Amino acid sequence: MSEVQIPGICDPDGALGKLPEKKMFKLALDFRDGAISIVECNQGHTLDEALYKEIQDLSEEEVSVLGTEIADHAYDESLDIHCDRCNKFYRPYCRLHPLFKIPDRISKIEEKQPGSPFSEQTLPILFRIAQSKLPNAGLGVFASTFVPIGMVFGPYKGLKVQKKGDFYKEGYAWRINKNDKKFYIDGSHPEWSNWLRYINSPRHEEEQNMIAFQTNGKIFYRVIKPIRIDSELLVWYGSSYGGEFVDAEFGPKPKKSAKNPFICTSRVPMHR
Ligand SMILES: C[S@@+](CC[C@H](N)C(=O)[O-])C[C@H]1O[C@@H](n2cnc3c(N)ncnc32)[C@H](O)[C@@H]1O
Instruction: Name every residue whose Cβ is closer than 8 Å to that of residue 47 and which is 6 or more positions away in sequence.
Output: 26, 28, 39, 41, 54
Ligand 1 atom with least separation from CA of 198: 4
Protein residue with least CA distance to atom 4, ligand 1: 198
Q: Specify the amino acid at residue 250.
A: F
Q: Alpha carbon 263 to chain centroid distance?
A: 12
Spatial distance between the Cα atoms of 83 and 99, rounded to a whole number of angstroms: 10
Complex ipTM over 0.90: yes
Give the Å distance between the CA of 157 and the centre of ligand 1.
Answer: 17
Residues 269, 272: Cα–Cα separation, whole Å: 6
197 CA closest ligand 1 atom index: 1
Q: For ligand 1, is residue 172 a contact (CB within 6 Å)?
A: yes
Q: What is the CA radius of gyration of the chain?
A: 23
The pLDDT tens digits along the chain (272 residues) read 444 443 434 445 555 556 667 788 999 999 999 999 999 988 888 899 999 999 999 988 888 888 888 887 787 877 888 888 888 888 888 899 999 999 999 999 999 999 999 999 999 999 999 999 999 999 999 999 999 999 999 999 999 988 775 554 568 888 887 777 888 898 989 999 999 999 999 988 889 999 888 888 899 999 999 999 999 999 988 766 556 666 666 666 666 644 444 444 445 543 33
Domain ranges in the chain? 23-91, 101-250
Measured CA to CA, the distance from residue 195 to residue 225 in angstroms comes to 20
Q: Give the fold, CATH level 3, of 101-250.
A: Beta-clip-like (2.170.270)
- Please tell me if the CB atom of residue 47 comes closer than 6 angstroms to any atom of ligand 1: no
DSSP, collapsed to helix, strand or coil, labels residue 183 as: strand
Atom 15, ligand 1: residue with shortest CA distance: 200
Query: How far is the centre of ligand 1, averaged over its atoms, from the C-alpha of 171 (Å)?
Result: 7
Beta bridge partners of 128: 142
**What distances in angstroms separate CA 71 from CA 74, 80, 91, 166, 212, one per listed residue?**
5, 10, 10, 38, 21
